Amino acid sequence: MDMDKLEDYRYTMESCNHCGQCRFILGHKMRGWEYAEVCPIYQRYQFDAYSGQGLINIAQELLEGTLRYDKELMKHLYTCTTCGACDVNCKSVRDMEVLDTILALRAKCVEDRQGPMPEHKGYARLVENTHNINGQPHDQRFAWLSDHVSLSQDTKIAYFEGCTASYLYPDTARNVIKILNAGGMRFTVLDSDEHCCGAPLWRTGQIETAGKLAEHNLDVFKNRGVKTLITGCAECYGAFRGFYPRIAKPDFEILHITEVIHTMMKDCRLSFKNNLNLKVTYHDPCLLGRLSELYVPWNGQIKAFGIHDPPKQWRRGTHGVYHAPREILKAIPGIELVEMIRNEENAFCCGGGVPAAFPDFALWTAKERLSEARFTGAEAVIFSCPFCRSSFETAIDSGIEPIQYHDITELVVQAL
């Protein structure tokens, strides 16, 4: 694998002018001081070191040898949820790769045998033994699949369910299947050939193990003739769009179930009949929103004033999957959609990137997001990612003021 190294992001490290834009929503998009911060670690800890700026400054100091590793530094580096809010807001000021610098920093920590956190190493062991991050028997990955499901053998469309839906939330997987069947789509599943997408390993710097997973899955897609891959998991979607192109150029289309539903609606293959009578707000998952734009590898020269030659295709977060889920909700009878202050590319993270090593911080982050959801007056928060579901479920079960939470596929099935 020819992955970028920390050294490759020296321009970003040296160009940071400490403007603070990585911590806040753009001024013209703010609607007051409340919910103006967009970086979870900065909002929680209130130190510059806990921000995109702080992390790339630390990266430079480690690279140049003016800072040394220790256990507390590792905790600091891995507190970040890698939600990418710092990255897209920084790019509104100047073109730099803040998030990729953070990811390269973690990869260097692993390469130097300093990282990741012990809990993250457990992910790698589980994946190597069982091909999933939950450590569940691999032969049970599709245990939820009933005989009543209509699958096709001669199709180039495959449903990739992911580890979390497979083992923790099979109801979401069943809902996806029901929707595809209702819309008359001919598709198949990958059965035992499907392995973890590798996202949790990629984002914790365990590039070698993540790369092996990606290479396995890419081989499966090629050997099975898959040309369109559908997933209901934002984490998987973000990995296919943001990580896999670093391994090999994708020769298949990647669709989230919300994009598929929206297309079916436009083609009159799917319609909603049941009135749900519910006021909702929609939470944009990080890896389906700002981090879902396709990564395009770049090799070239950075000239004066940051001019990239040849021109680089930047991932600015503005072209994430925002329209489809909202149009679905608006089309369901009885649904009233209200927006949170921080939405689309400025959505606040649910905390799903850190619960293994930092459960208290993950819980705080989810509570902050649910507080914002309740601020809208909504009765329910809607999402389209099983990781977000886990975060919100944990926060609500902890005893905060209750609010309903639903995966968008649940509402679609109820409305059919």
- Helix/strand/coil (H, E, C) string of 330-359? HHCCCEEEECCCCCHHHCCCCCCCCCCCCH
Q: Rounded to 5 degrees, what are φ and ψ at 293?
A: -70, 145
Beta bridge partners of 302: 308
> DSSP string spanning 112-176?
TT--S-HHHHHHHHHHHHHSSTT---GGGTTTT--TT----SS-SEEEE--HHHHHT-HHHHHHH
Cβ 203 vs Cβ 229: under 8 Å: no
Look at domain 1-115 and name its CATH class: mainly alpha
The closest alpha carbon to 369, from 356, 387, 381, belongs to 381
The pLDDT of residue 250 is 86
pLDDT tens series, the chain, 416 aa: 667 899 999 999 999 989 989 999 987 778 777 899 999 999 999 999 999 999 999 999 999 999 999 999 999 999 999 999 999 999 988 899 999 999 999 999 999 999 999 999 998 999 999 999 999 999 999 999 887 788 888 899 999 999 999 999 999 999 999 999 999 999 999 999 999 999 999 999 999 999 999 999 999 999 999 999 999 999 999 999 999 999 998 899 999 999 999 999 999 999 999 999 999 999 999 999 999 999 999 999 999 889 999 999 999 999 999 999 999 999 999 999 999 999 999 999 999 889 999 999 999 999 999 999 999 999 999 999 999 999 999 999 998 778 999 999 999 999 99
Q: Rounded to 5 degrees, what are φ and ψ at 140?
A: -100, 10
Q: Which residue has the tokens 């710092």?
A: 86
Cβ 130 vs Cβ 104: under 8 Å: no
Half-sphere exposure of 161 (CA within 13 A, CB side): 31
The pLDDT of residue 150 is 82
Cβ 116 vs Cβ 204: under 8 Å: yes
Cβ 365 vs Cβ 391: under 8 Å: yes
The pLDDT of residue 33 is 78
Cα–Cα distance for residue pair 389/352, rounded to 1 Å: 9
Dihedral sign for Cα atoms in the order 104, 235, 298, 301: negative
Q: Where in the chain are the domains?
A: 1-115, 127-266
pTM equals: 0.95
Dihedral sign for Cα atoms in the order 125, 127, 129, 132: positive
Cα–Cα distance for residue pair 414/408, rounded to 1 Å: 10
Q: Coil, helix or strand for 266? A: helix
Question: What does DSSP say about strands 301-302 and 308-309: parallel, antiparallel, or unpaired?
Answer: antiparallel
The pLDDT of residue 2 is 62
Token representation of residue 387: 């990781």
Q: How far does CA 105 lie from the centroid of its chain?
A: 19
Q: Which residue has the tokens 């707000």?
A: 281
What DSSP element (H or E) covers 398? none
What DSSP element (H or E) covers 34? none
Q: Coil, helix or strand for 365? A: helix
Cα–Cα distance for residue pair 357/64, rounded to 1 Å: 28
Cα–Cα distance for residue pair 391/351, rounded to 1 Å: 7
Topology (CATH) of 127-266 = Rossmann fold (3.40.50)
In angstroms, the first-to-last Cα distance of the chain is 45
Token representation of residue 357: 């090593």
The closest alpha carbon to 198, from 376, 1, 57, belongs to 1
The pLDDT of residue 153 is 84
Q: Rounded to 5 degrees, what are φ and ψ at 61?
A: -65, -40
Cα–Cα distance for residue pair 185/155, rounded to 1 Å: 10
Angle, in degrees to the nearest 10, between helices 386-397 and 234-242: 140
